[in-house]
Amino acid sequence: MLKASGFAEDPRLKHGFFTRLGGVSQGPYASMNCGFGSSDAPDRVNENRARAMAQVGLPARALVTARQVHSARACTVDRPWNTQERSELDGMATRSPGLALGVLTADCAPVLFADIKAGVIGAAHAGWRGAKGGILEATIAAMETLGARREQIEAAVGPCIRRDSYEVTETFRHGFVRDHPCCARFFSAGAQSGRFQFDLAGYVTQRLGEAGLTALSVLAHDTCAEDDLFFSYRRVTLNGGGDYGRQLSTIALSP
């Protein structure tokens, strides 16, 4: 489990960005696959999620995750959900102690939020589509409905695909810089003509800053390049396709 250095240091706060290590899954899901969206055996996914919760000192039932759909939808949460209750959204906020908000990723950026003074936390699944569409801002707004203050919110961006691994097309780049020319700095020339390398972590960090957050931490890991530590959709795709696991990122306040 990885932690963001300097992020919301408080004994009440429990958070972690989990790697793919330490679970019971096998094959392409080895070993800490926490995503029900994969074709992994559900009992193994449940065991992996329980192991993750044990590392932050909470029971398995405390973990809340959503059906992530790369949207800009966020909601507030006041109790655990069962598997059937999971909503289609990509951001959550709570002020309920003992409730762990979870984000599942395999290249997208997991973002954890905390306003310790207000006792409000949040979590967002930020791929390029969700970040561009406003999921970060929607999650912050959900936190504010629970009493958080924007100037007090800290955010940590977890492991995601990094610029050197993220090749995109000119059409993709144009979609960002057409209306916001400042986004050009998140693209550098690729090895092939008409191709670019996209800095997802940098873009997410800029959006957080533009939203008024000033206390930002970023973990410098590349999920695509570090196959021993992370699941990666892009890496699986480049290798010919197939199913893949998801790593968990979570945040909670002590009960």
> pLDDT tens across 121-132, in order?
999 999 999 999
208 vs 81 pLDDT, higher one:
208
Sorted by where each starts, the structural domains of the chain and their CATH numbers stand as 13-162+216-253 (3.60.140.10)
User: DSSP secondary-structure letter at 97?
Assistant: T
pLDDT at position 83 is 74
How far apart are alpha carbons 39 and 41 in whole angstroms? Answer: 7
pLDDT at position 85 is 78
> pLDDT tens across 24-83, in order?
999 999 999 999 999 999 999 999 999 999 999 999 999 999 999 999 999 999 999 887
pLDDT at position 86 is 84
pLDDT at position 5 is 83
Say whether pLDDT at 97 is over 90. yes
pLDDT at position 158 is 98
* Buried b / exposed e along 67-86 (16+ C-beta atoms within 10 A): ebebbbbbbebeebeeeeee
pLDDT at position 81 is 87
Q: Which helix (H) or strand (E) holds 217?
A: strand 215-218
> pLDDT tens across 167-192, in order?
999 999 999 999 899 999 999 999 99
**What is the number of H-type helices and E-type strands within the chain?**
6, 13
How far apart are alpha carbons 138 and 93 in whole angstroms? Answer: 10
What does residue 130 show for φ and ψ, rounded to 5 degrees?
-65, -40
pLDDT band at residue 198 using 50, 70 and 90 as cut-offs:
very high
84 vs 114 pLDDT, higher one:
114
> pLDDT tens across 212-248, in order?
999 999 999 999 999 999 999 999 999 999 999 999 9
The answer to whether the predicted template modeling score (pTM) of the entire model surpasses 0.95 is yes
> pLDDT tens across 98-122, in order?
999 999 999 999 999 999 999 999 9
